[in-house]
Amino acid sequence: MPANYNGTYNMISNENFESYMRALGIDFATRKIANLLKPQKVIEQNGDFFRMKTISSFRNYSTEFTVGTEYEEETKGLDNRKCKSMVTWDSDKLVCIQKGEKKNRGWKHWLEEDELHLELTCEDAVCKQVYKRAP
């Protein structure tokens, strides 16, 4: 049985998001706005099938994938690139590799009690975000 990520989570911390965005080539003005956001993650999971929504007052981003199946991801409203993305289980961690123009791009999710942790990587930038399950 895979871990259960279903739920709605509110951001409580965000470290190095600025350098992650810089690595993705996001312009200064957009970075300044994006850095102030406290997004919400909404995760719908059915076994290995996931729908992940990142919701904020500025932009929203949505992805769908099946663990173990490579898919075409277009990071619409983010850096607008195309990636061949694949998510796998590393025990209860979700590990995504986003192959494309940017080297060493991907993310990892894991759960710690009522917290959802996320590490976003691009080139040598690593952003660490923590979300808390919404009451």
CA angle 4, 79, 40 (to 5 degrees): 35
**Whole-angstrom Cα distance, residue 51 to residue 24?**
23
119: contact with ligand ECB by CB under 6 A: no
Phi, psi of 56 (to 5 degrees): -145, 170
Among 22, 42, 61, 117, binds ligand ECB (CB under 6 A): 61
Contact 97, 108 (CB under 8 A): no
Please work out the total of residues on this chain that contact ligand ECB, with binding judged by CB under 6 A. Answer: 20
Among 24, 83, 86, 87, binds ligand ECB (CB under 6 A): 24
The token pair at 6 is 């279903």
Nearer to ligand ECB, 34 or 86 (CB): 34
Residue type, 58: F
23: contact with ligand ECB by CB under 6 A: no
Among 18, 63, 95, 132, binds ligand ECB (CB under 6 A): 63
Contact 47, 38 (CB under 8 A): no
Among 5, 14, 21, 119, binds ligand ECB (CB under 6 A): 21
Judged by the rule CB under 6 A, the positions of this chain that interact with ligand ECB are: 21, 24, 26, 30, 34, 37, 39, 41, 52, 54, 56, 58-61, 63, 78-79, 107, 118
